[in-house]
Each structure stands twice: as C-alpha cells, then as structure tokens.
Structure 1
Amino acid sequence: MGAPSRVVRIASIPAMFVAGAMIAVQAQVNGRLATALGGTTSAGLTAAVLAFGSGLVLVTLITLSSPARRAGIPLLRGALRDGTVPRVAVLGGLCGAFLVAAQGLTVATIGVALFSVAVTAGQSSSSLAVDHAGLGPGGHHPWSLPRGVAAAFAVIAVALAAGERLVESFSLTTAGLAVLPLLAGAGMAVQAAFNGRVSAIAGPWVSSLNNFVIGFIGLVAVWLIALAIDHDLRPLPGQWWMYVGGVLGMGFIWLSAALVRVHGVLVLGLCVIAGQVITALVIELVVNADSHVGPVGVAAGGLTVVGVLVALWQTGHGHADD
C-alpha cells in the first residue's frame, strides 16, 4: 500500500480532531454513568462494561452485515499465521478497555480536567516512543526536536487548561488515582499502533471488532472480580445519553485504526489531544454552569493547535516520517 496522497493527509486532519472530541465526551458520559451507579469501583467497572459491551454489539453487527467487511477476518487470520501481523498486535483492545475503565473509576473523583492532564502526559510521551520504535503501520518515525516540542506543547496546554482545578483539588488521593489515566494515555498510543497494523491488513472494521472483542473479554474478567467483592450497585439510570459511550468509543477506535497510517502515532495523538482540549472547553461552558473558562483556557486550546501545526510541518519536510 503506497504512501497517502497530500489530499488524504489534509482531509484526515479534521477527522483526527473529531476522534479526540469523542474521547472527551465519552469520559464525561462514562463518568456520569459510574456516579449514577454508585461511584464505587464496581460501579466504575460496570459503566465501562456497559460502554464496551454496547460498542461490541454495534461493531459486530456492522462488520458482519457486509461481505466486503467480513472478508477482512480470514485476511487477519492468514496474516497472523504467516507473521505479517505480530500476534501481540491483536491485544490493542486491552489498552482501550483500560482507558474506558479508568474513565469510570477516576473521573467522578478527580474530574475531567485532571483526567485529561494525566492522559495527555502519558499519550504524548508514549506516542514518541511508539513512533520511534516503529510499532505502527507507517514504520519507523524517528524522534526529532520539532516532534518533541510538539508533544511538549500538548502537555503544557492541557496543564494550563486544568491548572486552577488541579490546585483546588490536589491531594494524595487524586494524585494516586491520576496514575490510572496516565497509564491509560500511554496505552492509547500502543493501541493506535497495534490497531493500525491490523487495519492495514484487514480493514478498520475488522480492526475495531478485534479491539472490542479482546477488550471486552479482559474488562469482564476484572469486572466479575470487582463485583464479587462489592456488588452494591444502584439501579440503571433512565437517561439515554448515559449509554452512548460505546458508540463514541467505536467511532474513536475506527477513526484511529483508519487514520494512524496517514500521519503516524504522534501526529494522530496530538490531533486527538487538541480535539479533547477544545471539546472539554465547550463541555465546561455548556454543561457545567458554575465553571469559568477564561483566557488561560482559550490559550491552552490554541497551544494544542500550535503543537499539531509544528508536528505537521515537521512531517511535511523531508521523508523522515514517510
């Protein structure tokens, strides 16, 4: 498969921003669902299972409904047998499951702001390492100063956007819980790389299906253990929007699998971060009536865009990323 054309590269940029917006909204939705179910560990994991399970049902129906999409399944099996796709690449769904579980377990306590800071820090640093190691379908994308600067812009931007809330809510408990989204953010880069490898052979729908199947199995195993320890859950809430996390997750995973080969893991990650930050600002303005988004928040959103532009500029010069 040849290198993506200039038109494809340009057209893919807004789609990567949309993928980030989906993650921001998903974190809000899954956090609200976990709170409605009781706010406990088992409630958080239950919210994650519901979100991942609904996504699994949808992506299964869509993938199996078309012979063209189903054709990717034997292609993936063959690629796994002959080593074209390493077997570890099919485990990307575990990273996605961990992200959704982290949303349910931490957002209600530490807030979306701190969650975003931790995810961003993990995702930016891990994306550099994943690209440099050549784990993604685009191969080796060597580290460079512009790529490092672009990643730093993303971390600084989200830290600025969440700064006031971090100062107000910081404690050993929140710092400890922030480790989960930090690790989840690092896993997002690995997930994008692995899903991209699978998608390059079998297509984005089969890659998404594999992602949901593997992630759901891992998530249910942990959920059953948590439920055996603490099964005190509140009844399921009646608000329909609390159950759209799976749809949002499916959209994010499909877009990531389809687009990661276009610009590489780092640029995909930076665009996702920019989409997350900008959407989080909108959520604060629209959903949280008592919140205040000032010049610092707006500047943070601008910084994420600057970081993306730096990475895209570096990608467009030379052939280091091609």
Structure 2
Amino acid sequence: MSPDQHRSHSAQEQPGHSPLVWIALVTLMLMAGIAMPGQGRVNAALAAQTGDAFLAALISFTTGLALMLVIAFATARGRRTMRQVKPAFRSGAVKWWYLLAGCVGGYYVLTQTLTIGMIGVAVFTVSVVTGQTVGGLLWDRIGLGPAGRKRLSLMRVAGALLTVAAVLWAVSPQLSGTDRGLSWLLLVILPFSGGFLNSGQQALNGRQSAAYGSPIPATLFNFIAGTFVLLLAWLGKLLFVGGVPGALPDQWWYYIGGPLGCMFIALGAVLVTKVGVLVAAMGMIAGQLVGSLLLDVLMPAPGSLVTFSTVAGTVLTLVAVVVASLPDMLRRPGRGKR
C-alpha cells in the first residue's frame, strides 16, 4: 500500500472523538491562536525599538529556532523523534518539499510587515482570515492534510462563512474611512495569500507530525526555513534600502515572540491530524480574536478599540468552530467516516 493510499485509508477509519476530547481539542486550538496576537504585539514593540521591522521578524524566528534546536537535540524525546526523520523520508511518508512549509511563515511575516501600515490591522486581519478559511476548505477537499480528503459538508461551509463574517463584525469599528483604490486591493491580496498559504503550511506540518509521531521535527524545520527566508529579506533590505538598526533592548520579554511562534506551529501541526485543516484553522482564528481581545482589555495599545462588535464577533467565531465541527462531534467514537 502506498503512503497516499495509507493516508486515505487512515482518514476513512479515523475514529470519532468523545465530547470531552472535543473540549480539549478546542481548548488547544484557542491556546494556539492566543499565542499569535501575543507574538504580534511583542514583535511590533521590538520593531519600534530597533526601527527595523525586518530585523524584528528575523530575531523572532531566530529565537524560535534556538529554542527548537535545544528541544530537538538536548532532550531525550527530541533526539528520539529526530531519529524518525530518515525512516519517514525513506518510506515516502514525507517528501522533501514538505520542508519548505516554513518558508510560508517567513512570507506571512513579510506580508504583515509590508501591508499593515498601509491597510491597517483590521483589513489585514479580515484578509488573512479569509485566506485561511478558503485555504482550509481547499486543502481539506484535496486531502493535503494528514487526515485525507474531507467532504465539503453544509456545516463546514457554513462554519467557514460564519468565521469570516464574525471576524468582519469584530473589526468593523476599525474599518471606517479606509480608501479602497486599486493599490489598496493589491495590498489586500498579499495578506490573503499569506493566510491561504498558512493553512497549507499547517497541513504539511500535520503530515510531518503524523509521520514522525511528534511535532518537534516539523516545527524545527519550519523555523530553519523561515529564518533563512527572513535573513535573505533583511540582507536584501540592507543592500537596496539601507538603514542601520537601533540598539537591541535589554528586557527579556522582547524576545519571546519566537517561543510563542513555536507554540502556534507545534500545536497547529498536532491539531490538523485530529480535526482537519479547516476546523484547526477556524479554531486558531477564534483564539487569535480571543487573545487580541484580552490584550486590548488588559494591556491596551495606543489606538485599541473594544466595542460590542469586538466582543460579539469574537464570541461568534467560537460558534462558527462548533458549527463546522458538528459533523465530527455527532459521529460516535470508534466509527470511521463513510
């Protein structure tokens, strides 16, 4: 049986989850998503301190890479799982191009750096979420993730549309007064493509995690590829634009963006093996909104705006996750999909 046939067979025989397991999975989705606005806030502060957004992104990935190197080679579990890499390649369960998934992380950060200042955080968020949702539907349909092909049921499509509507509602107070010319539309395409590719990145990470039996190798390879992409981007910026970065800050919390990224990638790689690309992406989107809301309430940044729409839209994303998950929730544990 070929690896692709084995994955298709596994997807068909994949058992359902009990309600308690679903609660645990949704909690993990939220935790993974919450890490992202925290990382964004830290990286933005580091960019302001150094005066170089490209350098801040590079530092974030570098610290994440350093952490993953320690986990992969200085812990018994890490070394044990890294020994599964060669067998996974030999069997064909992992293709060499899966390792390029980490480049998407670098691309996503670049789209964030290049567009947020011109289209705003709200438009960026809606564009990314729409890309993640469309990507989640497509990657699940063609079977890019480790769970194989998933049917585009009415509940899944409704949950996806509800997610985009909920995010649009949550950020609606920040959308007024936006100029929408051709240049604006072209800029919106960048974060949309970043979100679209990000859901594919999670799918490939899930395939690797299933093959290795752990998310550690996939997370490490993501940070190696992403760091390389951002290093090239930063060097290109120095070469063609110039500019000497400011002094690095002394406070430790400026450097936790990388570890937060490790949390997001590792949890995402595990979650797509359990619930598929679409539901995992939607759950982490809900976590991002929850995390952003908590930051705006507890540690508001200049210009932060919390309204009824912000809270209601965030709650609606949680409802959307439940709606999209219903087909799997209602399937009894121990029964495969027909």
Q: Quote the residue 2:60 is aligned against.
A: 51
Post-superposition shift, 1:253?
0.7
Q: Quote the residue 1:277 is aligned against.
A: 289
Post-superposition shift, 1:23?
1.1
Q: Quote the residue 2:107 is aligned against.
A: 98
* Aligned-partner SS, 1:168: coil
Measure, in 1, the Cα distance between the counterparts of 2:278 and 2:319.
14
Measure, in 2, the Cα distance between the counterparts of 1:284 and 1:10.
26
Q: Is 1:20 aligned to residue 33 of structure 2?
A: yes
Range with greater deviation from structure 2 (28-37 or 243-252): 28-37
Over the aligned positions, Cα root-mean-square deviation in angstroms equals: 2.2
Range with greater deviation from structure 2 (154-163 or 71-80): 71-80
Letter in 2 for 1:73: M
Pairing of 1:263-274 with structure 2 (within 5 A): 263-274=275-286
Q: What TM-score do the two structures reach when normalised by structure 1? A: 0.90
- Provide the aligned length of Structure 1 versus Structure 2: 318
Encode CA deviations 1:239-286: one digit per residue, 9 max, x unaligned. Answer: 543322111101101111122111111111111111111222222333
Q: Quote the residue 1:226 is aligned against.
A: 237
* Aligned-partner SS, 1:167: coil
Post-superposition shift, 1:131?
0.6
The counterpart of 1:65, out of the listed 71, 74, 96, is 74
Encode CA deviations 1:113-157: one digit per residue, 9 max, x unaligned. Answer: 222111101000000000111111111111111111101111111
Encode CA deviations 1:184-207: one digit per residue, 9 max, x unaligned. Answer: 111111111100111112211111
Q: Give the direction of change, closer, same or farther, for the CA distance of 1:244–1:104 in structure 2 (3 Å limit).
A: farther
Give the % identical residues.
34
**Does the 8 Å contact 1:34/1:104 carry over to 2?**
no
The counterpart of 2:206, out of the listed 196, 220, 239, is 196
Q: Quote the residue 2:171 is aligned against.
A: 162
Q: Quote the residue 2:137 is aligned against.
A: 128
* Aligned-partner SS, 1:71: helix
Q: Relative contact order, CA 8 A, sep 6+: which one is greater?
A: 2
Q: Is 1:256 aligned to residue 268 of structure 2?
A: yes
Q: Give the direction of change, closer, same or farther, for the CA distance of 1:205–1:68 in structure 2 (3 Å limit).
A: same
Measure, in 1, the Cα distance between the counterparts of 2:326 and 2:161.
16
Range with greater deviation from structure 2 (53-62 or 288-297): 288-297
**Does the 8 Å contact 1:32/1:108 carry over to 2?**
no
Unaligned runs of 5+ in 2: 1-9
The counterpart of 1:182, out of the listed 188, 192, 201, is 192
Q: Quote the residue 2:4 is aligned against.
A: none
Q: What TM-score do the two structures reach when normalised by structure 2? A: 0.86
Q: Give the direction of change, closer, same or farther, for the CA distance of 1:88–1:9 in structure 2 (3 Å limit).
A: farther
Post-superposition shift, 1:237?
4.5
Letter in 2 for 1:302: V
Encode CA deviations 1:154-197: one digit per residue, 9 max, x unaligned. Answer: 11111112223222343545544332221111111111110011
Q: Give the direction of change, closer, same or farther, for the CA distance of 1:270–1:237 in structure 2 (3 Å limit).
A: same
Pairing of 1:3-18 with structure 2 (within 5 A): 3=15, 5-6=17-18, 7-18=20-31
Letter in 2 for 1:313: L
Measure, in 2, the Cα distance between the counterparts of 1:83 and 1:67.
26
Letter in 1 for 2:38: V
**Does the 8 Å contact 1:153/1:304 carry over to 2?**
yes
Post-superposition shift, 1:77?
1.9
Measure, in 2, the Cα distance between the counterparts of 1:156 and 1:236.
42
Letter in 2 for 1:260: V
Letter in 2 for 1:306: V
Q: Quote the residue 1:205 is aligned against.
A: 216
Q: Is 1:144 aligned to residue 173 of structure 2?
A: no
Measure, in 1, the Cα distance between the counterparts of 2:224 and 2:301.
35
Measure, in 2, the Cα distance between the counterparts of 1:175 and 1:236.
36
**Does the 8 Å contact 2:173/2:309 carry over to 1?**
no
Measure, in 1, the Cα distance between the counterparts of 2:310 and 2:185.
22
**Does the 8 Å contact 2:146/2:207 carry over to 1?**
yes
Unaligned runs of 5+ in 1: none
Letter in 2 for 1:253: I
Q: Give the direction of change, closer, same or farther, for the CA distance of 1:102–1:273 in structure 2 (3 Å limit).
A: same
**Does the 8 Å contact 2:15/2:336 carry over to 1?**
no
Measure, in 1, the Cα distance between the counterparts of 2:323 and 2:300.
32
Q: Quote the residue 2:97 is aligned against.
A: 88
**Does the 8 Å contact 1:59/1:250 carry over to 2?**
yes
